[in-house]
């Protein structure tokens, strides 16, 4: 299984490109203290809005801070938000989907009607409403994104459980006296984790994009903490004279989201032989 997965994954060039992008993002975030040429919060009023040059490869912002350094440190912020928010969504969605799919009947009806109600609200505007009521902080952002992103995971896990709970290995577990929790966590859930893994990978990209949008609007990660979104905000205010403040963080967000999407699609194709090209 593992060998076949690696073989199919390796043949997918776009998936390999996505994995390289994700690996580089991890590397940059981990080595930020050594890779960043300047302190990301160091103000230099003599170099306000300086264009890209040998001293500042990506230029400086309205306070003279080095944009490259802030982007390198911002990569870690993006990863933290993406993984924590997605982890919360996956945990909630998996638990609710497992319970709904395994027990069915009124339990399934109640959970799925709640999912339908949550899906009626546009996720981004729901996040905006909640963040507006709370103090903007990175932890509030991660929690809110996670608490508003579990519905798709619930529906996916529920569908897998409905299919898997009728398989022979589950029936055999019931015959030998295995309890519901043992069947759910040791027999069915491991077989449903492939689709959850794909969803999680794609979810990280969505969470990073949402955090960048919130920071761009000024209700996400608050200055002076570096974030790609709040660098873009400075770019919006100085678009006519400082193109680099919009170009570089925008490109970083584009490449990061593209990398996670390519990786997620590659994992999906490698796990499902029917989708092989």
- Structural domains of the chain, ranges and CATH numbers in brackets: 2-34+81-275 (1.10.3720.10)
Region 12-25: what's the mean pLDDT? 89
How confident is the model over 200-222, as pLDDT tens digits? 888 888 888 888 888 888 787 88
User: pLDDT > 70: what percent of the chain?
Assistant: 97
Band (pLDDT 50/70/90 cuts) for residue 226 is confident
Band (pLDDT 50/70/90 cuts) for residue 242 is confident
| The pLDDT of residue 144 is above 70 | yes
| The pLDDT of residue 92 is above 90 | yes
State residue 105's pLDDT score.
85
Band (pLDDT 50/70/90 cuts) for residue 255 is very high
Band (pLDDT 50/70/90 cuts) for residue 2 is low
Q: Which of 85, 95, 90, 82 is nearest to 22 (CA)?
A: 82
Rg (alpha carbons) of the chain, rounded to whole number: 22
State residue 252's pLDDT score.
92
Mean confidence (pLDDT) of the chain: 85
Model confidence, pTM: 0.87
Does residue 157 or residue 3 have the better pLDDT? 157
State residue 72's pLDDT score.
93
State residue 277's pLDDT score.
47
Band (pLDDT 50/70/90 cuts) for residue 269 is confident
| The pLDDT of residue 171 is above 60 | yes
Band (pLDDT 50/70/90 cuts) for residue 15 is confident
């Amino acid at each position: 299984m593992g060998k076949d997965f690696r073989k199919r994954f390796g043949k997918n060039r776009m998936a390999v490109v996505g994995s390289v992008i994700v690996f580089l993002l991890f590397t940059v975030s981990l080595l930020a203290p050594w890779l960043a040429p300047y302190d990301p919060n160091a103000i230099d009023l003599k170099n306000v809005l300086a264009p890209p040059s040998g001293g500042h490869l990506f230029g400086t912002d309205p306070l003279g801070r080095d944009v490259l350094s802030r982007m390198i440190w911002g990569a870690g912020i993006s990863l933290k938000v993406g993984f924590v928010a997605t982890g919360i969504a996956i945990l909630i969605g998996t638990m609710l989907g497992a319970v709904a799919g395994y027990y069915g009947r009124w339990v399934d009806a109640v959970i799925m009607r709640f999912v339908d109600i949550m899906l009626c609200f546009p996720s981004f505007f729901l996040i905006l409403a909640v963040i507006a009521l709370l103090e903007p902080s990175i932890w509030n952002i991660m929690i809110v994104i996670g608490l508003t992103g579990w519905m798709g995971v619930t529906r996916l896990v529920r569908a897998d459980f409905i299919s898997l709970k009728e398989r022979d290995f589950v029936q055999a577990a019931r015959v030998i006296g295995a309890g519901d929790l043992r069947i759910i966590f040791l027999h069915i859930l491991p077989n449903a984790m492939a689709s959850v893994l794909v969803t999680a990978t794609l979810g990280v990209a969505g969470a990073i994009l949402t955090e960048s949008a919130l920071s761009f609007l000024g209700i996400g990660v608050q200055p002076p903490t570096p974030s790609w979104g709040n660098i873009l905000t400075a770019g919006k205010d100085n678009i006519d004279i400082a193109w680099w403040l919009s170009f570089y963080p925008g490109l970083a967000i584009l490449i990061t989201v593209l990398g996670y999407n390519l990786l997620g699609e590659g994992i999906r194709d490698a796990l499902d032989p029917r989708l092989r090209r």
